[in-house]
């Protein structure tokens, strides 16, 4: 039986609309909350505005589906709508292999696409390439692989949920990458070379498949999380937005021209009061570029107190400059390039620098005059 519903707009606000085996052609469909179900029923709408709830009926027609407002919508049917999918808010969960059909672009304006055990489809070749895409993907405990790069001028990528998202394509989105859970991996042919910043928010950046993996001079690695695979940084290393730890499971190289920013909040150097780059006993850190040490202004940092900020088994190289901000009362700081230890000392006179048995680079207490961050 067909067209059991009126041909106008359909809105579901709580409860269940059950199409059973009916096929209905209607106007705009709005799912505010509740469920739209059907055994073999097909709903043909001019558009679909889904906000919260679930849809197990089959959605068809040339209209587009938009995920709007906070909340989660689960698509369970075998859908064939062809007008595209736009995620503007909340979560659109893929509850079936045919949730998004096989055609139509997928755009990201603030919502998240969530994969499941029923759907780990590579949709990357359907992702919108329009400027400013806010790609947001929840692997939800699954391993998902994209063969096509994410291409959006001014775009961003946020990866959340456990599981691994592997990118095998060349991405050109140019703004921030956030790894909020699980792992973001670049395959042997994949790249995130255009992103301005990789921010670890409890997640893992996996570059183990890449030969000579690096972040360029215009890129930065920040946050709290871990890195798998050897990594060379030509740009900026900035541990935690306030304080944090990045664990390097392999080797780290800070190249000439790079900048490493470390923060300290307490003179006692207790756990959680300073930034830490942590490696393993068999791993190497290579120093180069500038090291910027940001001590909390007004906090008492005593003479001869020290802390290891690069915790690796092997060390090589030296920083070309070490700059300090925040210290007062005649204090300065030195770093031992053979141990990764920073020590607060009385501000040395130039004549005494050569006598120090550590990296002979001292800091300027009034670095950049306004304590500006690099």
CA 211 to the chain's CA centroid: 22
* 102 falls within a domain: yes
Q: Using only C-alpha atoms, what is the Rg of the chain?
A: 26
* 86 falls within a domain: yes
Q: Is 126 helix (H, G, I), strand (E, B) or coil?
A: helix
> What residues contact 232, with CB distance under 8 A and at least 6 apart?
212, 213, 214, 215, 253, 255
Calpha distance 68→112 (Å, rounded): 11
Strand 331-336 and strand 341-346: the pairing is: antiparallel
Element (H or E) spanning 177, and its range? strand 177-179
Query: Of residues 343 and 2, which shows the higher confidence score?
Result: 343
C-alpha to C-alpha distances, 170 to 146, 147, 173, nearest whole angstrom: 10, 9, 10
303-327 b/e with 16+ CB inside 10 Å = b? eebbbbbbbbeebebbbeebbbbbb
Residue 288, token pair as written in the block: 């180069």
**In this predicted structure, what is the pLDDT of residue 300?**
84
**In this predicted structure, what is the pLDDT of residue 6?**
55
Least confident range of 74-78, 179-183, 274-278, 301-305: 301-305
Calpha distance 46→61 (Å, rounded): 7
With CA atoms as reference, report the closest residue to 46 among 11, 83, 16.
Answer: 83
* 275 falls within a domain: no
pLDDT tens, 121-133? 999 999 999 999 9
* 81 falls within a domain: yes
pTM: 0.89
Whether pLDDT at 357 is above 50: no
* 245 falls within a domain: no
Q: Is 125 helix (H, G, I), strand (E, B) or coil?
A: helix
Instruction: Give the pLDDT mean for 128-157.
Output: 97
Q: Map tokens 């064939």 to a residue.
A: 80
* 370 falls within a domain: no
Q: Map tokens 């690069």 to a residue.
A: 310
* 43 falls within a domain: yes
Calpha distance 183→226 (Å, rounded): 9
Whether pLDDT at 110 is above 80: yes
Full domain range(s) for residue 79: 1-121
* 194 falls within a domain: no
pLDDT tens, 57-78? 999 999 999 999 999 999 999 9
How many domains are there within the chain?
1
Residue 84's region, left for phi above 0, alpha for psi from -120 to 50, else beta, is: left
pLDDT tens, 253-289? 999 999 999 999 987 788 888 999 999 899 999 999 9
Strand 341-346 and strand 306-308: the pairing is: antiparallel
The full DSSP string for 300-336 is: ---TT-EEESEE-SEEEE--SEEEEES--SSEEEEEE
Task: Determine contact, residues 165/188, Cβ cutoff 8 Å.
Answer: no
Calpha distance 92→108 (Å, rounded): 11
């Amino acid at each position: 039986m067909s067209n059991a519903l009126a041909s106008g707009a359909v809105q579901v606000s709580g409860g269940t609309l059950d199409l059973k085996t009916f096929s209905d052609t209607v106007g705009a469909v709005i799912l505010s909350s509740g469920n739209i179900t059907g055994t073999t029923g097909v709903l043909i709408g001019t558009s679909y505005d889904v906000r919260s709830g679930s849809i197990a009926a089959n959605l068809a027609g040339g209209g587009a589906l938009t995920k709007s407002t906070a909340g989660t919508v689960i698509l369970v049917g075998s859908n064939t709508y062809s007008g595209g999918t736009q995620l503007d808010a909340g979560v659109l969960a893929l509850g079936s292999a045919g949730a998004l059909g096989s055609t139509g672009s997928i755009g990201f304006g603030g919502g998240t696409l969530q994969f499941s055990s029923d759907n780990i489809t590579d949709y990357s070749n359907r992702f919108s390439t329009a400027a400013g895409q806010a790609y947001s993907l929840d692997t939800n405990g699954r391993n998902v692989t994209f063969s096509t790069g994410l291409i959006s001028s001014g775009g961003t990528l946020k990866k959340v949920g456990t599981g691994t998202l592997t990118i095998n394509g060349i991405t050109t989105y140019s703004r921030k990458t956030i790894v909020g859970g699980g792992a973001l991996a670049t395959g042997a042919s994949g790249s995130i070379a255009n992103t301005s910043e990789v921010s670890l928010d409890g997640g893992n950046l996996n570059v183990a498949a890449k030969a000579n993996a690096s972040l360029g001079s215009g890129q930065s690695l920040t946050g709290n999380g871990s890195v798998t695979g050897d990594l060379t940084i030509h740009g900026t290393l900035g541990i935690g937005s306030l304080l944090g730890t990045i664990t390097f499971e392999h080797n780290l190289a800070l190249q000439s021209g790079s900048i490493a920013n470390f923060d300290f909040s307490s003179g006692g150097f207790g756990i959680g009061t300073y930034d830490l780059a942590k490696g393993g006993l068999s791993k190497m850190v290579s120093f180069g570029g500038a090291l910027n040490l940001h001590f909390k202004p007004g906090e008492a940092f005593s003479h001869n107190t020290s802390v290891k900020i690069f915790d690796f088994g092997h060390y090589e190289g030296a920083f070309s400059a070490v700059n300090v901000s925040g210290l007062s009362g005649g204090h300065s700081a030195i770093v031992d390039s053979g141990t990764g230890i920073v020590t607060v000392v009385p501000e040395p006179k130039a004549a005494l620098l050569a006598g120090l048995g550590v990296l002979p680079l001292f800091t300027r207490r009034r670095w950049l005059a306004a304590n500006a961050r690099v």
